[in-house]
Every structure is written in C-alpha cells, then in structure tokens.
Amino acid sequence: RGHVLSDSRSDPALACKSFTAELVILSHPGEISPGYSPVLDMHTAHVACTLQTIHAKIDRRTGKPVAGDPPKFLKAGDAASVEFVPRKPLCVEPYRKYPG
C-alpha cells in the first residue's frame, strides 16, 4: 500500500533488510523484548516488523543513550534505539541523509 517516489538514476529507493529506529513506548501492558512483532506505521506504509535487537535505552530528556548494557526488555515509558526487520518489502530513508 502506498507509493514511493525517487530519482531512479541518481538515488533510487531500495527495500531495506532491517532498520534502526528510536522509539518511545507510550502505553503497553507488558514487557517488549526481541521477537516482538508490532505493526508499524511509517508515512503511508503499514507493515508488520519484528524487533530484532535492543541497542540501548535513551534518556527521553536529552535524547542520548543511557550508559550500561543494553536492556533485555522495554516497558511503558521507555525510550530506546532498536533494530527492526520488516516482514514485507519496505523502503525506509535514513534520517541523516534526508533530515526532515
């Protein structure tokens, strides 16, 4: 669902195998750990993705990673840097290449 427009000669859109995302868990009844498969909404895409790895918790006030080992799970109120693997082809542009 949805369309992806890109410059096919100089900067073609490509499906990703995985992507890193920063997320905040606003409301969830339990713990979220690798293997969890939510449906993510990104622009017009609505795709199930599997949480592969939790890289680090992030301080919600500063946006910086919290020191220490990566957590084994996340819960409501946590912010984190995580890696997702989409279950269907998905184009995700890197923020550092296309900032806003």
pLDDT at 99 over 90: no
**Band (80; pLDDT cuts 50, 70, 90):** very high
Looking at residue 36, its pLDDT comes to 97
More confident residue, 96 or 53: 53
State mean pLDDT over 33-60: 93
Could you tell me the CA-to-CA distances from 18 to 13, 26, 31, 50, 66 in Å, in that order?
15, 23, 22, 9, 23
Q: What is the pLDDT, as a whole number, of residue 14? A: 84
What does pTM read for this prediction?
Answer: 0.86
